[in-house]
Structure 1
């Protein structure tokens, strides 16, 4: 437990109550004096009033004071004075930010994207990446935003709803989402040309999806939520990919089919 506390607090927690930061030496000394003085005062007053033998007086003072101060008085006083003894709890560094990936459908009309960016700015979200995909009922926008660590996905969804967005999805993401998509697609294309058997793995990496091996899914119809994508195999049958909770966009479907065509072309040119 002590190792866990040290790991979580960076080794700066007080040994008495675990609060951050550790009390200053002057305040710690004053707190201990406040704990000892009333006990010492009461015992000396009792000794002077009763007049026991000298040795008995010394022994009584030493044993009683030590026991009360170490095991009773000092811990209780330290706990009682903790709000004065310690400064406020340490706050995390303000520079820490969270990254989010957003997908939302907007109306295909002027000002829709501007309204979305305004609402996200009101939620302290900084847009780092943006892709727009035309769909039947508008445009599907994909954004990567950074926010302070105090901003939650619920706040972002409320901002998107206020901007008129539909079918919004928000996921935590990493800096890998900021990798240039064109560069990644070109690298995977070169990989497929060099070895066409790498097609399913290249598509899965390009789309951030999982390859489906279940025969029922491969042979059945596509689900209406758009989370399963099928592309033709250069050999026979189909490859299917799934991304639960994150529908594939028309542009992603086109990229995957283009990679399949590239693999088929590379196979026909192999000696």
Structure 2
């Protein structure tokens, strides 16, 4: 059952042997849209893809050659968002009552971006109307929970083997995102939940390495990290979690969703970045838990 679920809904790309204490996760790059879901939607097959982290799994797939596993979703974010609490659900979307443990009042639910989202980018409604609550709960049981169980196992295995673990949660952001209070558009944003999900030294090093590659990099603003970063980052225990957001305009045409010529260059730069960050952790990893802020 477990392996069948993994093959259908997500997969782990494993290195020949794990050589670095890193786990990479791409939860929003899935692009396998169930036909029944498309039939429920008021959006066309192109518009519904606007909330994808387009090709992010491919940008980071060289992590496996460097010795780290990569967990990637096949299911799309518009169908189910695993970067949320398991039951952040909007009762207005469903026929039937939600379970009492559902979080119906979070800011993400209010914004239409719960575990089962109501909207894709630019406030476009996904569904034609309400649908049975059992369908949403089935998605959580059949996909969300196995996905997180797999991620937890990867992190735990890494922590046991190396004495520490660094989770890199891989995402993309729209090309028009601007830094608060300025007109600058960052190429990358490193999120560590304002120092609570990873050692500050690790975050600063990630920013510095990307800047050395010629990119404009910000930290925590406007994206500090989501549920995954917050939930799995415990730096004082040697469990570090960083969220990395990549400006989509660097590598994909956001209207046609076709890769730009710069895709290969960005992939190569990210491979260089991963190798350099892994080297830093190898040299200084024993001190990182003490550096959390």
TM band (smaller chain): under 0.3
- By percentage of residues, which structure has more helix? 1
Which structure's CA Rg is the greater one? 1
Q: TM-score normalised to the size of structure 1?
A: 0.26
